């Protein structure tokens, strides 16, 4: 057998394997990757700052302020989780993202209970 014939006979399994991997990627992985959720941001700090200012001006006792702050934290987490699920996206904290994604702070803040909106 010649060197060219030997090279061809030993390389066909590699070529076949590569063809299978490429086909798998095109048929299975590519549609799955295209279905990734959108990544966006929300400024939890801006929403929290607005609530803290309202809370400071409310003249509440320390215990009442702590209770309302705890409720606010739970409501903010639930609102963000619901927004992500309803819109099929992943929200990152704006302060942790340098640039790029759309910011949904105003939309999330508008979904908060009225007494907790900034």
Which residues does the chain have with pLDDT short of 50?
A: 3-8, 11
Alpha carbon distance 89, 23 (integer Å)? 29
pLDDT digits (tens, 9 = 90+) for 23-40: 555 556 555 555 677 888
Alpha carbon distance 76, 90 (integer Å)? 15
Q: Selecting from 1.10.357, 3.30.910, 3.40.190, 1.20.58, what CATH number does the domain 38-116 have?
A: 3.30.910
Residues with Cβ within 8 Å of 15's Cβ and at least 6 positions away in sequence, in order, are none
pLDDT at 3: 45
For every residue of the chain, which 3-state class applies, written as one string?
CCHHHHHHHHHHHHHHHHHHHHHHHHHHHHHHHHCCCEEEEECHHHHHHHHHHHHHHCCCCHHHHHHHHHHHHHHHHHHHHHHHHHHCEEEEEHHHCCCCCCECHHHHHHHCCHHHCC
Query: Can you give the pTM of this predicted structure?
Result: 0.66
Alpha carbon distance 47, 39 (integer Å)? 19
Domain ranges of the chain: 1-35, 38-116
pLDDT at 20: 61
pLDDT digits (tens, 9 = 90+) for 12-25: 555 555 556 555 55
């Amino acid at each position: 057998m010649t060197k060219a014939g030997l090279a061809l006979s030993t390389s066909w399994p590699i070529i076949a394997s590569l063809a299978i991997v490429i086909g798998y990627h095109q048929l299975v992985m590519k549609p799955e990757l295209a279905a990734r959720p959108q990544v966006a941001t929300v400024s939890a700090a801006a929403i929290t700052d607005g609530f803290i200012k309202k809370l400071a001006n409310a003249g509440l006792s320390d215990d009442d302020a702590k209770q309302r702050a705890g409720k606010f934290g739970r409501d903010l987490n639930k609102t963000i989780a619901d927004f992500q699920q309803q819109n099929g996206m992943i929200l990152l904290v704006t302060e942790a993202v340098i640039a790029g994604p759309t910011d949904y702070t105003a939309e999330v803040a508008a979904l908060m209970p009225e007494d907790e909106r900034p």
